[in-house]
A and B are shown apart, each in its own frame.
Chain A
Amino acid sequence: MDRSRRKVLLFVLLFVFTAALPVLARGPWVAGYSLGFSGNDIVVSFSVKGALDRPDMKEAILSTRPVKLTFYTQVIKHRALWKNKVIAEKVVKHIVRYDTLTKQYKVQTLVDDVLSEERTLATWDEMVGYMVSIADLKVVSVADLVPSENSYTVRVKVHVLSNLVLWIIPWSVETPWVEKKLVTP
């Protein structure tokens, strides 16, 4: 094998290894993503799978560490020959903290960093059910959209936590963006 072929093979192996890294570390994913209308608002509902059922997450929660799931929702307007534009965005944070005295889970919901809901739940399943779902979240008003144009996309993703790969390389554990074409009525 000559030197140039050896170089090419080396680069291919390096590329495959780099590309396979996220696959090898199977992360969370978005499930049940749906778009709907609530009055004049467009609402989204979706949940994240493979997040809190991780053993390390459960261990972290039961160790009373605050655990946060961040739900990103963006409405994107597609523009020809130009960069797409985010016209609306919502960031919802679900934070849970376990109380070893009461054996209850205190959960908080922050919408765009503003506390919108706080409740206490008795069981793990109830807490998980609450934490991993977003239901009927208003992302944009129909009035803010141009009806004749069907060039909007609503995309969502969930950031679970920041981790360190091999304890050295910072690695963000989150779902990939999931998009849905917005069909205006």
Chain B
Amino acid sequence: MKIRFSSRNVKVSAALVGLLIVSVFVLVIVREQQNASVASAGSGSLTGLAVLNVLLMVVLFFVLFRELVKGFLAWRRQREGARFRTRLLTTFVLLGLVPSLLLFIGAIILIQSTVDRWFRSPVNSLTIASQNLVDKSMDLLRTESRRKVHALAWQLKQVPVEMRPSLLKHLNEGGDIDVYYLVNRKGKILARTPDSTSKPDAYKVSKLFRPGGLVGWMDLAPKPTVLSGTSLDAETGLIVGIYIPEDLFDKARFISANYEAYLQIRNREHILKISMISSFLALTLLITFASVWLGSHLLREINQPLQLLLEGTREVSRGNLEHRIAYEARDEFGLVVDSFNGMTSEVEMSRAELENRNRELRSATDFSERRRRYIETLVETLNIGVISMTANGQVHTLNSKARTLLGLHPDEAKKHLVSRPEWAPIAALLAAKSENSIINREVTLTTSRGYATVSVTSRPLNDPTGEVSGFLVILEDISDLVRAQRSAAWQEAARRMAHEIKNPLTPIRLSAQRIRKKAMDGAPDLESALVEGCTTIEREVRTMLKMVDEFSRFARLPEVRVRPASLSDLIESTIAPYRSTTDFELDLPGDFPLVRIDTEQMGRVLKNLVENSIQAMGKKGLIKIGLKVGDGHALMSIRDTGPGIPEENRSRLFVPYFSTKKRGTGLGLAIVARILQEHGGDIKVDERYLGGAGFIVSLPL
């Protein structure tokens, strides 16, 4: 397993180790303070503590100063997170400093009162009193030795110099003095206590000849002695000593030793206090430093990813979606940064995808635009008029042919179209349409060039949901075609009329020739021939008159006047005269909707079809009439059981003057088709019916 050492981890580890070492150091010193004898308190450890305190203060102030400067600079530069950083650092400093400071102040007060109380304790008072007692005892011995030396000196001065040693020996034997030395100025011993082995040093001898002499000098060896001395004359001096009782000396030594210890402590009272306060100060500073350092470290831990996130957000808001935050951590900040990077990556991918789609869409739009322009050009160049209308009847687009047909100037706005007189018949036609129906009608427009026959086809435009979003109106100028058809029709009509007129003329001519022959011959049967001939002529003339009526009727069909009516009722009323001779089978739904029709004209249509069937079937047969709704139209079927319509005749069935009957005019079904056309309907042969002739009549609902 490979372990990675980042500089941050190394720093943290080093700091923790350093903190641990300092803590151990402080604890050791505090421990030493506690264990050290009171007398030795504050010697070496105090210096160590002082050094530690100074170091901690320097480091603490450095850290605080650095953080303050950084915070101030960040605030001045209005860097992101500066306010948060300052607030957090202040919180950490206060969290560390306030409790530590309170603890420190409490500790100072406690130390002060404890140490003061200790120095005013009864034990110490007893120590002082005991020492005073010792001092008094020793002073008594000193006074006694001084008194004795002065008394001896007076006695010695009373005797000759050579007798002084013997006098001293005598007095010593009497027990008045324990120790004596008679010395000259140079320190030579002239006489001394017999059992004494030591001798006064030069210092003591010199003191003898100074003012005041030697007073209360204490020699502790070989035996505790209080010595006093004085000069006897210019050259000799006397030292007298009193032994200190051994038990007194031991007790005095013991008391003095304790007193000295007390004095030393007393002398170091402030050092003792300082050393204890320093220990607490070190701990306080250590806690504060740890708090500040940890706060600073935590601040960096928080602030770094926060700042990176802010920078990242700014970069992303500027549109730089390639920006990624380089920060690795396993904490929540790492998670947030990962999420941010992931989100940015996804947004970048989405944007790339969006741009691709946009390019594709632009390409498709361009293609559509080109296609639209192509279609527009195509439509524009078409020789038919194309008008697109909205569902509510407003003109959306129209090509130039439509403008031409409807007399609209190229620069004139299309909205003016509806006000054109040419538009009126088309508007009337469109008003009569139903939503889903396809209308195909010929209308005659009065244009500036004269009359024009125009085939108008209107069909609904459905949007993807199936709703009608508008209409497409196609105008086809069929004037030339109509003229050609009309010319052909007239030719056919003339031919047919000639033929039809020719047919009755022949019997008329033959009858006239027979009557003339009979009359010239004087034939006896002239009368009967005359009657017979006139009858023939009269019959043929009637036929001709009938034929003329048919032509006249075809040429002058009345205008269709539609109103809602029941097809079922119309069928019932129309077939009623034929029911006695012909069988009918009706399929008429009771709830069949009303249809807008001209009942007279439609009755003629129905009658024509029924009569054709009756004629075709002969006397026997069945006519089936049914009604149903299909594709927005009312569908009426008329089927018979006759011989049916030959395949070759079906395409010409509705052409005027086409007839399969011997004496038919060929206008019946043409009239039927025209009437239905003017109703917006249609008629066609029922191709699927095989039992005879069948027709499907469709009318718009």
Inter-subunit contact B256/A100 (CB<8 Å): yes
B414 within 8 A of partner (CB): no
Q: For B263, give its contact among A64, A104, A119, A168 (CB under 8 Å).
A: A64
Inter-subunit contact B203/A63 (CB<8 Å): no
Q: For A62, give its contact among B217, B263, B268 (CB under 8 Å).
A: B263
Considering the complex, give the chain B residue whose CB is closest to the CB of A120: B203
A85 within 8 A of partner (CB): no
Inter-subunit contact A168/B256 (CB<8 Å): no
Query: Which residues from chain A contact B220 at a C-beta distance below 8 Å?
Result: 102
- The residues in A between 44 and 94 inclusive whose CB is less than 8 angstroms from any CB of B are 59-60, 62-65
Q: Please, could you name 21 A-B residue pairs with CB atoms under 8 Å apart, sorted by A?
A: A59-B267, A60-B267, A63-B264, A63-B266, A64-B263, A65-B264, A65-B267, A99-B256, A100-B131, A100-B259, A100-B260, A101-B256, A102-B218, A103-B138, A119-B203, A120-B203, A167-B270, A167-B278, A168-B54, A169-B50, A170-B47
Inter-subunit contact A167/B51 (CB<8 Å): no
A9 within 8 A of partner (CB): no
B254 to chain A, nearest CB (A): 10
A16 within 8 A of partner (CB): no
B66 within 8 A of partner (CB): no
B43 to chain A, nearest CB (A): 10
On whether A169 and B252 interact (CB within 8 A), knowing A64-B260, A65-B264, the answer reads no
Query: Which residues from chain B contact A121 at a C-beta distance below 8 Å?
Result: 203
Top 10 A-B pairs, shortest CB-CB distance = A63-B267, A101-B256, A102-B218, A63-B263, A64-B260, A167-B274, A100-B256, A168-B50, A64-B263, A100-B260
- The residues in B between 233 and 256 inclusive whose CB is less than 8 angstroms from any CB of A are 252-253, 256
B207 within 8 A of partner (CB): yes
Give bound CA distance, A58 to B134, whole Å.
Answer: 22
B193 within 8 A of partner (CB): no
Give bound CA distance, A65 to B216, whole Å.
Answer: 23
Give bound CA distance, A59 to B612, whole Å.
Answer: 159
15 further A-B pairs in the complex, CB-CB below 8 A; given A64-B260, A119-B203, A170-B50: A63-B260, A64-B264, A100-B131, A100-B256, A100-B259, A100-B260, A100-B263, A101-B253, A102-B218, A121-B203, A162-B47, A164-B46, A164-B50, A168-B53, A169-B54
Give bound CA distance, A104 to B256, whole Å.
Answer: 13
Query: Which residues from chain B contact A170 at a C-beta distance below 8 Å?
Result: 47, 50-51
**Which residue numbers of A lie inside 8 Å of B, CB to CB?**
59-60, 62-65, 99-104, 119-122, 162, 164, 167-170
Query: Which residues from chain A contact B278 at a C-beta distance below 8 Å?
Result: 167-168
Give bound CA distance, A168 to B218, whole Å.
Answer: 42
**Which residue numbers of B lie inside 8 Å of A, CB to CB?**
46-47, 50-51, 53-54, 131, 134, 138, 203, 207, 216-218, 220, 252-253, 256, 259-260, 263-264, 266-268, 270, 274, 278
Query: Which residues from chain B contact A63 at a C-beta distance below 8 Å?
Result: 260, 263-264, 266-267
A75 to chain B, nearest CB (A): 31
Considering the complex, give the chain A residue whose CB is closest to the CB of B49: A168
Residue among A100, A120, A121 with the highest chain B CB neighbour number at 10 A: A100
A160 to chain B, nearest CB (A): 16
Give bound CA distance, A101 to B224, whole Å.
Answer: 11
Give bound CA distance, A60 to B266, whole Å.
Answer: 10
Determine the main DSSP class of A at the interface with B: mixed
Query: Which residues from chain B contact A162 at a C-beta distance below 8 Å?
Result: 47
Considering the complex, give the chain A residue whose CB is closest to the CB of B266: A63
Q: For A122, give its contact among B50, B217, B270 (CB under 8 Å).
A: B217
On whether A101 and B264 interact (CB within 8 A), knowing A121-B203, A164-B46, A170-B47, the answer reads no
Give bound CA distance, A31 to B46, whole Å.
Answer: 32
Residue among A119, A122, A169 with the highest chain B CB neighbour number at 10 A: A122
B241 to chain A, nearest CB (A): 13
Give bound CA distance, A99 to B134, whole Å.
Answer: 13
Query: Which residues from chain B contact A64 at a C-beta distance below 8 Å?
Result: 260, 263-264
A131 to chain B, nearest CB (A): 15
Considering the complex, give the chain B residue whose CB is closest to the CB of A97: B260
Considering the complex, give the chain B residue whose CB is closest to the CB of A59: B267
Give bound CA distance, A62 to B266, whole Å.
Answer: 11
Query: Which residues from chain A contact B253 at a C-beta distance below 8 Å?
Result: 101
Give bound CA distance, A99 to B203, whole Å.
Answer: 18
Considering the complex, give the chain B residue whose CB is closest to the CB of A66: B264
Considering the complex, give the chain B residue whose CB is closest to the CB of A171: B50
Inter-subunit contact B218/A101 (CB<8 Å): yes
Query: Which residues from chain A contact B50 at a C-beta distance below 8 Å?
Result: 164, 167-170
Inter-subunit contact A104/B218 (CB<8 Å): yes
Inter-subunit contact B267/A101 (CB<8 Å): no
Query: Which residues from chain B contact A169 at a C-beta distance below 8 Å?
Result: 50, 54
Considering the complex, give the chain A residue whose CB is closest to the CB of B47: A170
Give bound CA distance, A14 to B289, whole Å.
Answer: 26
Give bound CA distance, A104 to B46, whole Å.
Answer: 30
Query: Which residues from chain B contact A120 at a C-beta distance below 8 Å?
Result: 203
Give bound CA distance, A164 to B54, whole Å.
Answer: 12
Give bound CA distance, A60 to B259, whole Å.
Answer: 14
Give bound CA distance, A34 to B674, whole Å.
Answer: 159
Give bound CA distance, A102 to B264, whole Å.
Answer: 17
Considering the complex, give the chain A residue whose CB is closest to the CB of B262: A63
Residue among B46, B256, B260, B264 with the highest chain A CB neighbour number at 10 A: B260
Give bound CA distance, A103 to B632, whole Å.
Answer: 143
Inter-subunit contact B252/A101 (CB<8 Å): yes
B53 to chain A, nearest CB (A): 6
Inter-subunit contact B134/A101 (CB<8 Å): yes
Give bound CA distance, A9 to B423, whole Å.
Answer: 101
Query: Which residues from chain B contact A65 at a C-beta distance below 8 Å?
Result: 264, 267-268
Query: Which residues from chain B contact A59 at a C-beta distance below 8 Å?
Result: 267
Give bound CA distance, A86 to B266, whole Å.
Answer: 42
Inter-subunit contact A122/B207 (CB<8 Å): yes
Query: Which residues from chain B contact A164 at a C-beta distance below 8 Å?
Result: 46-47, 50, 274
Query: Which residues from chain A contact B263 at a C-beta distance below 8 Å?
Result: 62-64, 100
Give bound CA distance, A168 to B253, whole Å.
Answer: 37
B373 to chain A, nearest CB (A): 72
Considering the complex, give the chain A residue whose CB is closest to the CB of B203: A119
Inter-subunit contact B138/A101 (CB<8 Å): yes
Give bound CA distance, A63 to B280, whole Å.
Answer: 27
Query: Which residues from chain B contact A101 at a C-beta distance below 8 Å?
Result: 134, 138, 218, 252-253, 256
Considering the complex, give the chain B residue whose CB is closest to the CB of A164: B50
B229 to chain A, nearest CB (A): 12
Query: Which residues from chain B contact A119 at a C-beta distance below 8 Å?
Result: 203
Considering the complex, give the chain A residue whose CB is closest to the CB of B201: A119
B239 to chain A, nearest CB (A): 14
Give bound CA distance, A100 to B138, whole Å.
Answer: 11
Give bound CA distance, A167 to B271, whole Å.
Answer: 8
A164 to chain B, nearest CB (A): 6
Query: Which residues from chain B contact A99 at a C-beta distance below 8 Å?
Result: 256
A95 to chain B, nearest CB (A): 15
Give bound CA distance, A18 to B186, whole Å.
Answer: 57
Considering the complex, give the chain A residue whose CB is closest to the CB of B134: A101
B225 to chain A, nearest CB (A): 11
A138 to chain B, nearest CB (A): 22
A151 to chain B, nearest CB (A): 39
Considering the complex, give the chain A residue whose CB is closest to the CB of B275: A167
Give bound CA distance, A53 to B100, whole Å.
Answer: 41
Residue among B50, B51, B54, B216 with the highest chain A CB neighbour number at 10 A: B50
